[in-house]
Amino acid sequence: MGRLYRSAGVSRIGHVPGARHRSGRDNAGMQQRIVLITGASRGIGAATALQCARLGYDVAVNFTRDARAAADLAAQVRALGQRAIEVAADVSREADVLRLFAAVDAELGTLSALVNNAGVVDVPARVDEMGSERLVRMFAINVLGSFLCAREAVRRMSTRHGGAGGAIVNLSSAAARLGAPGQYVDYAAAKGAIDTFTLGLAREVATEGIRVNAVRPGIIETDIHASGGQPDRAAQMAPQVPMRRAGSAGEVAQAIVWLLSDDASYTTGAVIDVSGGR
């Protein structure tokens, strides 16, 4: 069992096996790879956490509400021989983001990778039906949260700030290309902002040891559709996909972990579609 920590208003459950130290180094003195995944308690975030753990990353699991799912995921990461912590934080709130990164610093060590996965949709609506509360929530979580987390990651990774480099992967959406008319143009616009953000940040930090890329999933079988009031959306949309099926969270995670890896060492500013051809 891990211990329950409460620090500066953030609850987290952490467990650090004795074979490694909080500095993020193993007994041989080798620097450990540490990844923070926002919105990691389910779907693509959870699949990415497990893929990263299999590749030797220690994992910080960020969540907002589902503490049990986050704890279960962290336990799976530890079962794969890696360290894991769970940190409750709303990425749309700057104070939460600061506490999130402070928790990673204190419990795991120096961050080497960030996956900006946290995101929301809403119920289908036309633009002329959308209220400002919906729009503020959509852009605060999907765009502002990614900016704030990337800012803190750059402050730790950039050689300009004394860091050793690293990689950032942002989660976009095929909706950024398609516009999502009659569904959620606001979500599509937020993800379009992520595409532009990815390109700009990648060029900004290209000489500072940081690679920044994005993955643009299409119709993926996850429970984000249920949160938007359409639990069967993936199955209903599958016939419109050239491959005639929805994708899986694991298939998106494979693209994310490749972009984090040294195999993608000359790839930055890229946005990779994982959409079955849609």
- 10 Å CB burial of residue 263 (0-12, 13-18, 19+) is exposed
Q: Please report, in tens digits, the pLDDT of each residue of the chain (278 residues total).
A: 333 333 333 344 443 333 333 334 443 445 689 999 999 999 999 999 999 999 999 999 999 999 999 999 999 999 999 999 999 999 999 999 999 999 999 999 999 999 999 999 999 999 999 999 999 999 999 999 999 999 999 999 999 999 999 999 999 999 999 999 999 999 999 999 999 999 999 999 999 999 999 999 998 886 654 455 556 666 676 677 778 787 899 999 999 999 999 999 999 999 999 998 88
Report d(CA 222, CA 206) in Å as an integer: 33
Residue 237's pLDDT is: 67
Residue 243's pLDDT is: 84
pTM: 0.87
Complete domains list, the chain, with CATH: 30-274 (3.40.50.720)
Residue 231's pLDDT is: 62
Which residues have a catalytic role annotated?
A: 187
Report d(CA 156, CA 185) in Å as an integer: 34
Give how far Cα 45 sits from Cα of 6, 30, 80, 177, Å.
24, 27, 17, 22
Residue 208's pLDDT is: 98
91, 118 in Cβ contact below 8 A? yes
User: Per the structure block, which two tokens stand in for 115?
Assistant: 């996956």
Instruction: Pick the closest to residue 84 from 30, 155, 152, 12 (CA basis).
Output: 12
Stretch (H or E) spanning 107: helix 94-107
Task: Indicate left, alpha or beta for 24 from its phi (over 0: left) and psi (-120 to 50: alpha).
Answer: left
Task: Indicate left, alpha or beta for 39 from its phi (over 0: left) and psi (-120 to 50: alpha).
Answer: left
Beta bridge partners of 220: 247
Report d(CA 223, CA 174) in Å as an integer: 17
Instruction: Pick the closest to residue 167 from 55, 15, 43 (CA basis).
Output: 55
Strands in the chain per DSSP E: 3-7, 10-15, 33-37, 57-63, 84-88, 113-116, 166-171, 210-217, 271-274
